[in-house]
C-alpha cells in the first residue's frame, strides 16, 4: 500500500515537472550552453557599465576639437588615445556604444510592436485585409530600403537620434510583420481559436491573449536577432557616412576612420576599440538569440 | 565547437594587436621647414623611349569634366586641362606677358589698343592651322547672350562693342579686328596696367573656331567638343575620357614646341584618404595640381619621391553674405537687413578664429595666417604692414560687447542688439580629410565668444554643389569658408567688383568702386601709383571686412624618382613636352 502511495507520489512529481514552463526551458537551455550563458552575463555587465558611465560623460565637452591633442597615443591623458580632432577615444566608444544600442533598442521595439501587431491582425482575419497588407509589405520589400534611408538622411537638414530612429523604423517593420503573419495564419486556423470564436470572445482578446503567447518564443527570438541586426545597421550607416552626424559620437564613425591608410597602420587606437566592441556585442547577442531559438524547438534543445 | 571558436577569436584579436604594434614609429614631427624645399628636381638615370606618365587627381568627388577654358568652373578641370592647354601667352616670374608664347602682346596706350600677333605654322591637335578667328572665338562665346559661364564681367565689358554684342544689338564685337592672318587688334574703353598680366578683358586662350562656330553657345556646356573630344594646342591631347574618373592623354604631334618625349599621360581620380598611400607604393608619378597640405605628414618620409614647394597664387578666406547678385543685370546689391550687415560682428568673428593653431597642427605651417587679400607672391603689391586679423579672444569679446551683442537670457549665447536670437549659418566644404574637424573647431572658437554658429543644411556641403549654392545666394548661408586662386592678375575687379559674379559676399559701395577703379586706371601705369592704390584698397577691405582672409598657402608637389627633370618655378621655360622618364614604371 505504501509502495502504491510512493508510486503515485513519484508519478505526480513526474507529472508536475514536465512539460516545464516556457521560461524555465530557456533558463535550462542557457545553463547547458556555457557560451550563451557567458555571452548573456557579459552582455548585461557591459551594457550596464556603458549606460552608467555614459551618464557621467558630457557629450559637448567630449566632442570639442582640440587640435594640439591630435592623434594622442593611449597614455595618461587619454585612456585609449585621441582621434584626429583630439577627442578622447574611450569617451567616444562609450557614448557611441550607448547611442548605437539605444537606437537599435528603440528601433527593435518600434518595429517589433508594429510588425507583431500587423502580422497578428492580418494573419487572424485573413481575406481581403490580409491581401491589402501583404501587397503593402511586398511593396516595402521591393524598395531598396537602404538606399532610401540614405537619401532621406541626406535630405533632412537637422537630424538627431530621434529622426534617425523614425527613419529606420519606417522600413524595417516589414520583416517582422511577414514572419509573424505566416505563423499567425497557421495558429489562427487551430481548434482552440475556433472554439474561442464560438464562445463569442472578442477578436482582440483572442489575438493578444491566446495566439500571441503561443508565438512568444518565436517573437522573442525574432526581436533578439533583430536587435543584433539593428546595431549592425546603425554602425554600418554611420561607417558609410549616412548615419549619425559627425558631431555625435558613434562606433561606425570611429571605424570609418580606418579608411585612411595612415590611421589604419599607425593610429590603430582610433578604430580598433570600436571594431572590437562591435564584434563582441554582435557575437554575444547572436549567441543569446540562438540559445533562445534552440530552446523554442524541442528537437534542438541541448538541455 | 566552442573551443575551436574561442581559439579562433583569441588568435584574431592577437593578430590585430600585433599588426597595430609592428609599425615603424617615426617621430619626425614638427612643422615643415619651407626653405628646405627645392623648386626643381633632377634625377639620375638613362631616359627611356616614350613612356607614360601616371598622374593622380586627388579629389573625393568625380570631376565635372568641362574641358573648355571659357566654361570651366573648378580647379580640378583646370588641372586636367593643364596637360592639353590652349594658352596663347607665356608669362615671366612677375606674371607679365613675354614673347616666348604662341602669341605676343603689344600695347598701344595712347589709343587704348592691344595688338596680338601669333606665330606662323601653329596647328591644333586635329591638324587644323591656328588662325586669328580662333583667338576671336572665345570672346564671341563669353559675350554671347546665351553664355552660361561666369566670365562675362566688368573686365570683359571693357572691350568696345562687347555690351552691344551681349544685348543682341550687334552680331559681332566691333572692338575685335582681324588685321591680317596673324594679327588681331583689340580696342578697349580704357587700359590699365593689368593688360600686361592678361587682364582688362584680354583673354589668354584660343578656342578652335572651326568646331565651335557651328555649336550654339547655349548648348556648348553639354557638347562633345567640350566634354568628350576637345581639340587643343597643348603638349598632349585628349584620347580617352571616362567621365568623372580618368583621362588618357596621348602625345600631340602638332605641338608647336616639338612633339613630347612621352607617349602619353594617364590621369586618374584618387580619393584624398588614399592618395598618400598610392604615391608611396609607386602607383603614380605625381599629382595633378598640388598635394593637399594635410597629407604632408604622410608623404614627407617617402623615399621614392622628391618634394617641391611653391607659394601659391591663392588664399583661403571667410566670406559673409551681405547682399544679392542679380543674374539678369549682372550687378550686386547690398541688403542692409542682412544678418551679417554689422561690420563689428564680422570683425569680432575674425578675431575669434584660432587659425594659427590649425595652421600649426593640421598644416605643419605649410599655411600661414593671412593679413591681406593679395598673396605675398605679388611682391610689388602685397602690403606686409597690414595688421590683419589675428587670434585675439579678448578683442573679439570687447568688440561684441561694444556693438551691443550681449547675452540677455543667460544661455551663454549672445543676442542681437535688438534682442533677437542670433543663429549664424555657416557653409563649409567637404573634401579634405580634416574638413569636419576644422569646421567643428571654428564653430567652437565662435561659441567661446558667445556666437551660435551652425552648419547650413546640418552638414558639410559637397564640393561640386558648394560653390553653386554660394553663388546663387542661397538663403541658408550667412557665412562661408572658401578659397580661390587669384590668377596672374592681382587686380580685384574680377573678384570684388560690383559686376562680378565671383564677388560672393555681394559687398559693394561707391567708395569701393572708386578704389578698384584707381588700381586699373590710366595713372596706375606708374608702378608707385598702382602700389599705393593697392595699399588703399587692402586697408579698406580690412576695415570693412566683407571677407576676411584666413590663410596663405604653399603648394607641395611630390615627384617620383623616375621623372628625370621637373621644375615648378614660374620663371623658367620648363614645358610638359620635356618630361622624360628613367624607368618603365614609377619607382616604389
Tell me if A184 is assigned to some domain: yes
Structural domains for chain B: 31-65+234-304+561-588 (3.40.190.10), 86-226 (3.90.76.10), 311-555 (3.10.105.10)
What pTM does this model have? 0.75
**From the candidates B4, B301, B440, B476, which should be mutated to test the interface with A, based on the most A CB atoms within 10 A?**
B440
Residues of chain B contacting A246 with CB distance shorter than 8 Å: 436, 440, 459
Is A158 close to B458, i.e. CB distance below 8 A?
A: yes
Tell me which residue in A64, A158, A268 faces B444 most closely, judged by beta carbons: A64
Do the chains contact at B276 and A261, CB–CB below 8 Å? yes
**A242 to chain B: nearest residue by CA?**
B459
Nearest Cα neighbor of B495 from B558, B455, B537 is B537
* Nearest-neighbour CA in chain B from A144: distance (Å): 24
Q: Does A261 touch chain B (CB under 8 A)?
A: yes
Contacts of B205 (CB under 8 A, 6+ apart): B69, B70, B85, B86, B87, B88, B138
Whole-number CA gyration radius for chain A: 24
For residue A10, pLDDT beyond 70: no
Does a structural domain hold residue A68?
A: no
Of B431, B414, B452, B501, nearest to B156 (Cα)?
Answer: B501
Residues of A whose CB is below 8 A from B16: 268, 272, 276
CA distance A2 to chain B (A): 49
- Residue B55: the pLDDT is 92
Residues B365/B304, Cβ–Cβ less than 8 Å: no
Please report whether residue A302 resides in a domain: no
Q: Are residues B444 and A156, on separate chains, in Cβ contact within 8 Å? A: no
On whether any CB of chain B is under 8 Å from the CB of A67, the answer is yes
Q: How far is B275 from chain A (nearest CA, A)?
A: 9
Specify the pLDDT at position A20: 53
Give the distance from residue B117's alpha carbon to the nearest chain A alpha carbon, in angstroms: 51
CA-to-CA distance for A131 and A215, rounded, in angstroms? Answer: 22
User: What CATH number does the domain containing A165 carry?
Assistant: 1.10.3720.10
Residues of A in contact with B358 (CB under 8 A): 67
Residue A22 counted as domain residue: no
Strand order in the sheet with B113-118: B103-108, B113-118, B183-187, B176-180
For B199-216, give one letter per residue: b (16+ CB within 10 A) or e: bbbbbbbbbbbbbbeeee
- Return d(Cα A70, Cα B362) in angstroms, integer: 9
Reference B301, options B271, B286, B279, B283; nearest CA is B279
Determine the average pLDDT of the residues in A54-60: 84
Strand, coil or helix: what is B159? Answer: strand
In chain B, what residues touch A266 (CB-CB under 8 Å)? 23, 25
**What pLDDT is recorded for position B502?**
84
Angle at A195 between CA A189 and CA A201, to 5 degrees: 105
Q: Are A29 and A303 in contact (CB under 8 A)?
A: yes
- Tell me, yes or no, whether A49 lies in a domain: no
Q: How would you write B431-480 as a 3-class SS string?
A: CCCCHHHHHHHHHHHHHHCCCEEEEHHHCCECHHHHHHHHHCCCCCCCEE
Query: Using CB atoms, which residue from A64, A245, A283 is nearest to B458?
Result: A245
Q: What are phi and psi of B544, to 5 degrees?
A: -90, -15
- 8 A C-beta contact, residue B561 and residue B304: yes
Interface probe with B: pick from A261, A273, A284, A294, most Cβ of B within 10 Å: A261
For B13, the closest of A84, A268, A276 (CB atoms) is: A276
Write the burial class of residue A282 (CB in 10 Å: 0-12 exposed, 13-18 middle, 19+ buried).
middle
Using alpha carbons, select from A295, A106, A108, A123 the residue that is nearest to residue A208: A123
Contacts of A169 (CB under 8 A, 6+ apart): A106, A107, A110, A111, A114
Contacts of A159 in chain B (CB under 8 A): 458
Mean pLDDT for A48-63 is 86
Q: Which residue of A has its CA nearest to B359?
A: A67
pLDDT one digit per residue (tens) for chain B, 588 residues: 567 877 787 777 777 666 555 444 444 445 556 566 788 888 888 888 888 999 999 888 888 889 988 888 888 898 899 888 888 888 887 788 888 888 889 988 888 889 999 988 889 988 889 989 998 999 988 888 888 877 887 778 888 988 888 888 888 888 899 988 889 999 988 887 888 888 778 888 988 989 988 888 888 888 888 898 899 988 899 999 999 899 999 999 999 888 888 999 999 999 887 888 888 898 999 888 888 777 887 888 888 888 888 888 888 999 999 988 888 888 888 888 888 888 999 999 999 999 888 888 888 888 888 888 888 888 888 888 888 888 999 999 999 889 888 888 888 888 888 888 888 999 988 877 778 888 889 999 998 888 999 888 777 888 878 888 888 888 889 999 988 888 777 888 878 888 888 888 899 899 998 998 888 887 888 888 888 989 999 999 999 989 999 999 888 888 888 888 888 887 777 888 888 888 888 888
Any alpha helices (H) in B252-379, and if so which ranges? Answer: 275-280, 296-299, 343-352, 355-362
Determine, yes or no, domain membership for A188. Answer: yes
The complex's ipTM works out to 0.70
Q: Give φ, ψ of A165 to 5 degrees.
A: -60, -45
Q: What residues of B are in the A interface, CB distance below 8 Å? A: 2, 5, 9, 13, 16-17, 19-20, 23, 25, 273-274, 276-277, 297-298, 357-358, 360-362, 433-434, 436-437, 440-441, 444, 457-459
The Cα of A220 is separated from the nearest Cα of chain B by a number of Å equal to 24
Q: Which residues of A touch B362 (CB under 8 A)?
A: 67, 70
Q: Are strands B286-287 and B52-58 parallel, antiparallel or unpaired?
A: parallel
Nearest to B540 by CA among B386, B396, B391, B403: B386
Grid coordinates of B211: 568646331
Give the contacts of B311 (CB within 8 A, at least 6 positions apart): B375, B376, B377, B552, B553, B554, B555
Domains of chain A: total: 1
Q: Chains A, B: CB contacts under 8 A, how many?
A: 64
| Rg of chain B, C-alpha, whole Å | 26
Average model confidence (pLDDT) for chain A?
83
Mutation for B interface: A42, A160, A262, most B CBs within 10 A = A262
Prior bond to A19 cis, omega within 30?
Answer: yes
Residues 6+ apart with CB under 8 A from A27: none
The secondary element (H helix, E strand) that includes residue B333 is strand B331-334
Q: Domain residues for A87?
A: 81-266
Q: What is the mean pLDDT of residues A174-181?
A: 88
DSSP secondary structure code for residue B421 in this structure: B
The answer to whether residue A15 scores a pLDDT higher than 50 is no
Strands B479-485 and B423-427, by their bridges, are parallel
Nearest CA distance, B423 vs chain A (angstrom) = 14
> What are the chain B neighbours of A65 within 8 Å (beta carbons)?
437, 440-441, 444
Q: Give the pLDDT confidence score for residue B240 in this predicted structure.
A: 92
Best residue in A81, A83, A154, A246 for a mutation probing chain B (most B CBs within 10 Å):
A246
Alpha-carbon distance of B343 to B7, in angstroms, equals 67
The predicted structure's pLDDT at residue B241: 93
Residue A272 in contact with partner chain B when CB distance is under 8 A: yes
| Cβ contact, residue pair B441, A268, below 8 Å | no
- By DSSP bridging, strand B97-98 and strand B90-91 are antiparallel
Residue A36 placed within a domain:
no
**Is residue A271 exposed (0-12), middle (13-18) or buried (19+ Cβ within 10 Å)?**
buried
Note whether A67 contacts B13, CB cutoff 8 Å.
no
The C-alpha cell at B363 is 598644416
Contact criterion met (CB < 8 Å) for A260 and B433: yes
Between CA B447 and CA B444 the distance in angstroms is 5
Instruction: List Cα–Cα distances, B127 to A50, B68, B430, in angstroms.
Output: 71, 19, 42
* Interface test with chain B among A37, A42, A59, A67, by most B beta carbons within 10 Å: A67
Q: Is residue A109 part of a domain?
A: yes
Amino acid at each position: 500500500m505504501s509502495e502504491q502511495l510512493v508510486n503515485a507520489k513519484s508519478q505526480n512529481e513526474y507529472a508536475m515537472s514536465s512539460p516545464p514552463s516556457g521560461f524555465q526551458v530557456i533558463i535550462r537551455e542557457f545553463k547547458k550552453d556555457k557560451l550563451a550563458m557567458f555571452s548573456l552575463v557579459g552582455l548585461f555587465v557591459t551594457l550596464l557599465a556603458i549606460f552608467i558611465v555614459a551618464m557621467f560623460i558630457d557629450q559637448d565637452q567630449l566632442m570639442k576639437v582640440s587640435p594640439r591633442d591630435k592623434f594622442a597615443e593611449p597614455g595618461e591623458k587619454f585612456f585609449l588615445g585621441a582621434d584626429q580632432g583630439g577627442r578622447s577615444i574611450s569617451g567616444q566608444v562609450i557614448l557611441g556604444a550607448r547611442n548605437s544600442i539605444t537606437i537599435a533598442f528603440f528601433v527593435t521595439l518600434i518595429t517589433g510592436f508594429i510588425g507583431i501587431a500587423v502580422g497578428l491582425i492580418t494573419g487572424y482575419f485573413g481575406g481581403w485585409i490580409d491581401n491589402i497588407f501583404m501587397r503593402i509589405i511586398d511593396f516595402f520589400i521591393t524598395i531598396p530600403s537602404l538606399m532610401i534611408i540614405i537619401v532621406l538622411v541626406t535630405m533632412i537638414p537637422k537630424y538627431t537620434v530621434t529622426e534617425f530612429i523614425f527613419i529606420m523604423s519606417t522600413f524595417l517593420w516589414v520583416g517582422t510583420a511577414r514572419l509573424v503573419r505566416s505563423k499567425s495564419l497557421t495558429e489562427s486556423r487551430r481548434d482552440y481559436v475556433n472554439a474561442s470564436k464560438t464562445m463569442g470572445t472578442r477578436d482582440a482578446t483572442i489575438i493578444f491573449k491566446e495566439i500571441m503567447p503561443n508565438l512568444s518564443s518565436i517573437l522573442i527570438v525574432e526581436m533578439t536577432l533583430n536587435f543584433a541586426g539593428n546595431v549592425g545597421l546603425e554602425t554600418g550607416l554611420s561607417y558609410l557616412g549616412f548615419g549619425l552626424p559627425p558631431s555625435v559620437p558613434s562606433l561606425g564613425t570611429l571605424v570609418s576612420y580606418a579608411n585612411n591608410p595612415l590611421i589604419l597602420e599607425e593610429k590603430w587606437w582610433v578604430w580598433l576599440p570600436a571594431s572590437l566592441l562591435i564584434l563582441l556585442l554582435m557575437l554575444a547577442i547572436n549567441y543569446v538569440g540562438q540559445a533562445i531559438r534552440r530552446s523554442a524547438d524541442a528537437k534542438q534543445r541541448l538541455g | 565547437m566552442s573551443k575551436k571558436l574561442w581559439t579562433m577569436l583569441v588568435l584574431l584579436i592577437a593578430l590585430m594587436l600585433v599588426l597595430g604594434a609592428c609599425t615603424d614609429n617615426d617621430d619626425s614631427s614638427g612643422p615643415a621647414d619651407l626653405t628646405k624645399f627645392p623648386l626643381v628636381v633632377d634625377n639620375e638615370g638613362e631616359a627611356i623611349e616614350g613612356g607614360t606618365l601616371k598622374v593622380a587627381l586627388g579629389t573625393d568627388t568625380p570631376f565635372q569634366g568641362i574641358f573648355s577654358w571659357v566654361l570651366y568652373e573648378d580647379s580640378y578641370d583646370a588641372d586636367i586641362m593643364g596637360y592639353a592647354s590652349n594658352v596663347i601667352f607665356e608669362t615671366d616670374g612677375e606674371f607679365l606677358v613675354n614673347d616666348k608664347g604662341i602669341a605676343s602682346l603689344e600695347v598701344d596706350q595712347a589709343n587704348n589698343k592691344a595688338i596680338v600677333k601669333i606665330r606662323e605654322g601653329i596647328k591644333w591637335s586635329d591638324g587644323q592651322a591656328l588662325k586669328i578667328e580662333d583667338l576671336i572665338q572665345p570672346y564671341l562665346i563669353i559675350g554671347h547672350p546665351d553664355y552660361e559661364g561666369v566670365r562675362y564681367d566688368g573686365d570683359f565689358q571693357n572691350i568696345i562693342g562687347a555690351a552691344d554684342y551681349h544685348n543682341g544689338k550687334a552680331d559681332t564685337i566691333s572692338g575685335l579686328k582681324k588685321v591680317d592672318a596673324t594679327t588681331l587688334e583689340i580696342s578697349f574703353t580704357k587700359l590699365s596696367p593689368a593688360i600686361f598680366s592678361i587682364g582688362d578683358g584680354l583673354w589668354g586662350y584660343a578656342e578652335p573656331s572651326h568646331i565651335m562656330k557651328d555649336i550654339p553657345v547655349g548648348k556648348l556646356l553639354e557638347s562633345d567638343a567640350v566634354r568628350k573630344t576637345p581639340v587643343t594646342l597643348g603638349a598632349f591631347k585628349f584620347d580617352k575620357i571616362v567621365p568623372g574618373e580618368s583621362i588618357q592623354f596621348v602625345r600631340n604631334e602638332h605641338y608647336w614646341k616639338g612633339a613630347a618625349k612621352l607617349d602619353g599621360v594617364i590621369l586618374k581620380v584618387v580619393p584624398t584618404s588614399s592618395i598618400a598611400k598610392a604615391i608611396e607604393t609607386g602607383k603614380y608619378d605625381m599629382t595633378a595640381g598640388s598635394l593637399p597640405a594635410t597629407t604632408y605628414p604622410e608623404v614627407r618620409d617617402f623615399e621614392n619621391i622628391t618634394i617641391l614647394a611653391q607659394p601659391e597664387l591663392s588664399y583661403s578666406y571667410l566670406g559673409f553674405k551681405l547682399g544679392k547678385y542679380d543674374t539678369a543685370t549682372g550687378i550686386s546689391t547690398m541688403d542692409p537687413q542682412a544678418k551679417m550687415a554689422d561690420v563689428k560682428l564680422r570683425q569680432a568673428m575674425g578675431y575669434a578664429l584660432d587659425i594659427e593653431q590649425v595652421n600649426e597642427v593640421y598644416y605643419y605651417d605649410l599655411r600661414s595666417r593671412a593679413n591681406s587679400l593679395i598673396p605675398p607672391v605679388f611682391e610689388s603689391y602685397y602690403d606686409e604692414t597690414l595688421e590683419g586679423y589675428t587670434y585675439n579672444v579678448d578683442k573679439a569679446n570687447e568688440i561684441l560687447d561694444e556693438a551691443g551683442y550681449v547675452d540677455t537670457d543667460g544661455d551663454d549665447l549672445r543676442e542681437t542688439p535688438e534682442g533677437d536670437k542670433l543663429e549664424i549659418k555657416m557653409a563649409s566644404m567637404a573634401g579634405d580629410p580634416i574638413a569636419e574637424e576644422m569646421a567643428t573647431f571654428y564653430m567652437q572658437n565662435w561659441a567661446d565668444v558667445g556666437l551660435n554658429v551652425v552648419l547650413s543644411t546640418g552638414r558639410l556641403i559637397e564640393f561640386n554643389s558648394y560653390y553653386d549654392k554660394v553663388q546663387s545666394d542661397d538663403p541658408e548661408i550667412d557665412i562661408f569658408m572658401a578659397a580661390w586662386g587669384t590668377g596672374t592678375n592681382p587686380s580685384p575687379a574680377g573678384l570684388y567688383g560690383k559686376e562680378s559674379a565671383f564677388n560672393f559676399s555681394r559687398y559693394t559701395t561707391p567708395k569701393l568702386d572708386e578704389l578698384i577703379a584707381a588700381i586699373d586706371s590710366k595713372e596706375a601705369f606708374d608702378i608707385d601709383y598702382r602700389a599705393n592704390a593697392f595699399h588703399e584698397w587692402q586697408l579698406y577691405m580690412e576695415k570693412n571686412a566683407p571677407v576676411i582672409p584666413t590663410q596663405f598657402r604653399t603648394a607641395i608637389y611630390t615627384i617620383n624618382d623616375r621623372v628625370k627633370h621637373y621644375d615648378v618655378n614660374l620663371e623658367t621655360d620648363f614645358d610638359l613636352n620635356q618630361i622624360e622618364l628613367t624607368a618603365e614604371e614609377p619607382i616604389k
